Amino acid sequence: MNQPPKRSPGRPRKLDADDPQTELIIMRAASAAFMQYGYEKVSLIHIAEQCKVTKATLYYYFDNKANLFARSVIRMFNNVAGHVGRYLTMDLPLKDRLTAMAKVQMGNQFGEFETLMKEASSHLTALQINEIREAEKAIHHIMADTFQTEINRGTLKPSLHPMVLSLAFASMVMLGTREMLLELYSGDLDGAAEAVVELFWTGAGKKL
């Protein structure tokens, strides 16, 4: 990737600094870039260029790359938690809700998050790492609560811990982003998602 000449951070343009959407736009672009390319390959110059703001504007909101990473990833997880909550409260059987959610998540073909965190951890403070992990856990708690409800209803096996089910489902959805699996279904994302949920359901669903 060609990099523009480095410029010294200065005061951002007034319109950039006063625009309440600027910070949101930067975090949205940053989270997508980090998930796709990893921590090391993403630069602040790249993010500023992508958002069409000056590097000074970016520094106005985020004093360094680690801060941008932590805040953008936490925001991403908060958004995911909201989406997961909406899917899991749809007026559909659990299996259909999981399938709908898997189709969306498998369409976001980003790298594996644990690999990204290992790469970024040495640049983050203990507080930043803890805040990221808490935001991640919030998603699993939403899913685990739903699974516990379905266990109580007799939909899922009572012998399975709801948090284990949440972690297992998330891992299986990640499998669905692998190119080899999609090739088995001729690139049919819906078919691949249905297969992943069917596999999960075979292990978790209570036999009638």
The Cα 22–Cα 183 span in angstroms is 39
Residue that has been written with the tokens 């970016």 in this structure? 58
pLDDT of residue 8: 45
187 conformational bin, left if phi > 0, alpha if psi -120 to 50, beta if neither: left
pLDDT of residue 105: 85
The Cα 154–Cα 181 span in angstroms is 31
Count of CB atoms within 10 A of residue 208's CB?
5
pLDDT of residue 14: 46
DSSP letter string, the chain: -PPPPP----PPPHHHHH-HHHHHHHHHHHHHHHHHH-STT--HHHHHHHHT--HHHHHHH-SSHHHHHHHHHHHHHHHHHHHHHHHHTSSS-HHHHHHHHHHHHHTS----HHHHHHHHGGGS-HHHHHHHHHHHHHHHHHHHHHHHHHHHHTSB-TTS-HHHHHHHHHHHHHHTTSHHHHHHTTT-HHHHHHHHHHHHHHHHBPP-
- For residue 54, which of 64, 44, 40 has the smallest C-alpha distance? 44
pLDDT of residue 114: 86
The Cα 151–Cα 204 span in angstroms is 10
Domains of the chain from N-terminus onward:
6-63 (1.10.10.60), 73-204 (1.10.357)
> Between the CA atoms of 165, 168, 169 and 170, what dihedral angle is there, to the nearest 10 degrees?
120
Angle among Cα 115, 73, 162 to the nearest 5 degrees reads 75
Using 50 as the pLDDT threshold, list the residues of the chain that sit under it: 1-10, 14-15, 208
